[in-house]
Every structure is written in structure tokens, then in C-alpha cells.
Amino acid sequence: MAISKRAEPALLTDQVYATIHEAILNGDLPAGSRLTVRELAEQVGTSAMPVREAIRRLEEAGMVERQPHRGAVVKALTLEELVHVYDIRRLLEVEAARLGAERITAEDCDRMQAEYDLMREAIDDHRVPALLDHDEAMLAILYNAAGNPFLVQVIRNLWLQCRAYKIVGATGTLETPGDDSLWRYQQDLIAAARHNDPIGAAAVNDASLANATDRIKALLAAQPSGR
């Protein structure tokens, strides 16, 4: 009974964390949103303590920051951070694609195709969080084939940290007629994987991430807060 009682606050904090975390990932709490403990506690139906702990954990995850006179806010988007994060993604994900393409099976390629098809449906419906989820699921299948779970975990953490940038990029691209960059590279990546072509897979990922960096950089620069 004592263990169970101690676990209850932690479980509640986990639930609050998951709720706020999902709201940030889905864009319901966009960059710059203030995270007021009292308001969030009322919305999720808890006391202030689990909300404070959840916000602290979000700070540790790099998704929330403290600002003078504002308190905790969803981390703002900056061109400098965009470049740094995407440079690291290119280093890791190009290598993950190369290693994964060498070892991936036909069955896993079929799973990639299934996620790609769901991603295309989400693109057609302009469902940004869903298209990002399926894109990441497709990439994770390829990266997991590399056989290095630590590499995949590091990449997943980077995806979380740059989710707001991904939302900006995907939303802006969907609003640009004739831009096929949300699906063209993924289509080529699946083809390279099916041929167990590590050089081709690495080249596609490198080009895809370079393109994403340029697209998001242009979109941020066009915003009043971009720099």
C-alpha cells in the first residue's frame, strides 16, 4: 500500500506531462505560449503540484523555457537553433539511413510504404500532426533496421525538440501550391531501401533535411519574430 500511495502523484504528473506535451506537439500550444500553472491545473483538473512538475520536465526536455516577466513559455523558434538542430539531425539521420538501408528487410520496406500511404492521406487532408507522426514512423522503421537502438532514441529526442519547427515547415509547405517536398524525398527513400542502397538512402536523407532547413528558415525569416 505504501508503494502504491507514493506512485499516485508520480502517475498523475505523468498524465499531466503527457497532456501538455501532446498539446505542444500538435501545435495547440504554439511557440511563445505562456504556461500558467493555475490555468493549466484548471484545464487538466488537477492541483498545481503535478503541473509544476510537468513544466519542469518539459524544461529539461528542451520544449519549455523561462523568460523574464513571463515565466514558463513554450520555447520560441529561432533561426540559430534551427540551423544547429538540423545540422545534428543531418549528421545522425544520414548515417542512420545508410546503415538501415544495408540491413532492412522487404517486410520492413512494406511497413515503410504503409506509413508513407497514411502520410499522403494526411497531406491530402492537411492534417499536419498526423503527417509528421507517419513520416517519423516511416523513418523509424528504416533507422531501427540499423540495429542501434541508442542512435534511434537520440534521433527521436531531436524530433521532439524540433517538432515546432516541423509544424512550421509542414504547414507552410502545404500552403504552397505545387510543392512536393513533403512526400517526394520519402518516396525516393523507400525506393533506395527496397534496393538495399545505402549510398542512395544517405543521399536522399541529406537532401531532404537540407531542403527542410531551407524551407523552415525562409518561413521563420518571414515572420515578425524571425531573425
- Grid coordinates representing 64 are 519549455
Which pLDDT score, from 0 to 100, does residue 5 have? 39
d(CA 42, CA 13): 14
Inter-axis angle of helices 128-144 and 106-124, nearest 10: 170
Which pLDDT score, from 0 to 100, does residue 46 have? 87
Which pLDDT score, from 0 to 100, does residue 63 have? 80
- Grid coordinates representing 124 are 491530402
Cα 84–chain centre separation: 15
Which pLDDT score, from 0 to 100, does residue 1 have? 32
Helix (H, G, I), strand (E, B) or coil at 225: coil
Which pLDDT score, from 0 to 100, does residue 226 have? 40
Where along the chain do its domains lie?
Answer: 2-74, 79-222
Question: Over its length of 227 residues, how does the chain's per-residue pLDDT go in tens digits?
Answer: 333 334 345 678 888 888 888 888 777 888 788 998 999 888 888 888 988 998 998 888 778 888 888 889 888 778 888 889 999 999 999 999 999 999 999 999 999 999 999 999 999 999 998 999 999 999 999 999 999 999 999 999 999 888 888 988 999 999 998 999 999 999 999 999 999 999 999 999 999 999 999 999 988 887 655 43
- Grid coordinates representing 10 are 508520480
- Nearest Cα neighbor of 141 from 103, 170, 169 is 103
User: What phi and psi values does residue 102 have, to the nearest 5 degrees?
Assistant: -70, -30
Sort 123 into a burial class: Cβ within 10 Å, 0-12 / 13-18 / 19+: buried
**CATH homologous superfamily of 79-222:** GntR ligand-binding domain-like (1.20.120.530)
- Per CATH, the architecture of 2-74 is what? Orthogonal Bundle (1.10)
